[in-house]
Structure 1
Amino acid sequence: MKQQMKDRYHHWSDIKYLKDIVTNPMIEVGEYSYYSGYYDQHDFEDGCVRYLWGDDRSRKLFNPIEQYGWVLDKLIIGNYVCIASGVIILMGGNHNHHPEWITVYPFVEQINNSYERKGDTIIESDAWIGMNAMIMPGVNIGEGAIVAAGSVVVKDVPAYTIVGGNPAKEIKKRFTDEEIAKLKEMRWYDWERKQIERASHLLSRSSIHQLYDYYLREIRPDRSKV
């Protein structure tokens, strides 16, 4: 009951930080990344994320690592990722359907032979996954990328790129190549929280050059001392 109350959403503005709610060891989450699940009232681990072994119930039912020696896919989420209501992150429980076989039916006797890894699903820092989007297994969504609402992402999304549609296709780059290179160098989402708070007025603007000047002046000298 306590867990249900903890995961319940009371308003569309209500969010849950993933660090506070994720218990599945197959999910790695960064700082301040959140899920906004009010309109679906799904738990993040058993609603947004689907077919991923490692939650309490699945661990009690079976253990494919020990039983079959499988290497299971993980879900890896960076810092400051925004995941909207209705998002589905499809994971590794459905890799036993083979379109190249005569039948796609997963006979129990063939489960051990039919499993096939898709690779880890990675949502890098500062990405935004829009409402009702679906992320297919093994996809890498780059830092600062935006997935439009209702999209079905079947292949990797480059950093700072907006994609949309079914299947999702590139709509546009958010910034120039030069600006993206500076953003990748700065990695603002890895700064200490106090440094981010001091720079929030720059992060909430469109001038990457101003943020880069701040980075050269305030952040990079500190990093060189480490």
Structure 2
Amino acid sequence: MPSAPPFARPDAVHPVTLPDGSAHPGTTYLRAVIDHPRIEIGGYTYASAHHPPADWAAHIAPYTYPFSPEKLVIGRFCQIADGALFVTASANHRHDGFSTYPFAIFGGGEAAGRPSLPGPGPDTIIGHDVWIGTRATILPGARIGSGTIIGAGAVVAGDIPAYSLVAGNPARVIRPRFEARTIARLLEIAWWDWPIDRILAAEAAICGADLAALEAIRP
């Protein structure tokens, strides 16, 4: 009986192998392809694209520049569908005055400190095991808790509790995925921090929502 293929290493560029043995070019572990001073990606987090880009950082977070004051932080085992977009704080315009126009970026003097530019914005933080649906937009400063599911086309801002089901524009929490007690235990167990062999041993418990079995196999 042939042995099972090994689980894809977290540094694999294309972690999905097709039946003919070739790599699927539209699925990418982001940590393997993004080297950006303002973006942090956890292991095993992948993104999908029907037309894979040459620059994944610019594809998913085009406003996060190397000189941006804010950061984009994405946890482990996240799943990012085609067309999902992170609009980080450097995309913002000042909106507390009479005009939102960014005069400073078009000249007329040094840009630094100009009154038409906003101050530094907050980091955008995505937890672990977050599924972000196709064409969802994550707005500047969003903080999305672990285990959350973001529906297709959702426009997400603010703080989203862990293990929420979120949809709409503007996005709202439709319901928690589990009862509060279960969510608290899952966050304490934090299976995404386990060694990969222990995670694979617990696959049935994780995907079958068997909390007792997951607690029993916990390292």
Give TM-score, length-normalised by structure 2: 0.81
Q: 1:52 to 1:23 in 2, by over 3 A?
A: same
Relative to 1, partners in 2 of residues 1:12 and 1:132: Cα closer, same or farther, differing over 3 Å?
A: farther
Contact 1:11-1:38 at 8 Å conserved across structures: no
Structure 2 counterpart SS, 1:171: strand
What residue number does 1:131 align with? 134
Q: Is the 8 A contact 2:94 2:118 kept in 1?
A: no
Map of 2:162 onto structure 1: 159
Q: Which residue of 1 aligns with 2:102?
A: 106
Deviation at 1:112, TM superposition (A): 2.5
2:102 alignment partner AA: P
How many Å apart are 1:177 and its aligned residue?
Answer: 0.7
* Whole-angstrom distance in 2 between the partners of 1:131 and 1:11: 22
Residue of structure 1 in register with 2:191 after alignment: 188
What does residue range 3-22 of structure 1 map to in structure 2 within 5 Å?
Answer: 14-22=26-34
Relative distance call for 1:155 and 1:165 in structure 2 (3 A) is same
Instruction: Give the drift of 1:209.
Output: 2.5
Question: How big is each residue's C-alpha offset from its partner over 1:117-170, in whole Å with a ceiling of 9 and x where there is no partner?
Answer: 221101111011000000001111100011000000021111000100000001
**Retained in 2: the 8 A contact 1:29–1:78?**
yes
Which structure shows the higher helix fraction? Answer: 1
Tell me what 1:49 maps to: 61
Q: Secondary structure at the match of 1:35?
A: strand
Q: Where do 5+ consecutive residues of structure 2 fail to align?
A: 1-12, 15-21
Shift of 1:92: 2.9
Identity across the alignment (%): 33
TM-score by length of 1: 0.79
Post-superposition CA distance 1:96-129 (Å, at most 9, x none) = x222111111111484232322211011110110
Which secondary structure does the structure 1 equivalent of 2:95 belong to?
coil
Distance 1:28 1:212, change over 3 A: same
Task: Structure 1 unaligned segments of length 5 or more: list them.
Answer: 1-5, 55-62, 65-71, 220-226
Aligned match of 1:147? 150
Change (3 A) 1:130 1:141: same
| Structure 1 position 203 matched with structure 2 position 200 | no
Corresponding letter in the other structure for 2:96: E
* Alignment RMSD: 2.3
Q: Deviations over 1:145-200 (max 9, x none)?
A: 11000000021111000100000001111111110011011000000111111111
Asked if 1:83 corresponds to 2:80, the answer is: yes
Q: Which residue of 2 aligns with 1:34?
A: 46
The aligned counterpart of 2:176 is 173
Which of 129-138 and 14-23 deviates more? Answer: 14-23
Distance 1:158 1:199 in 2: 25
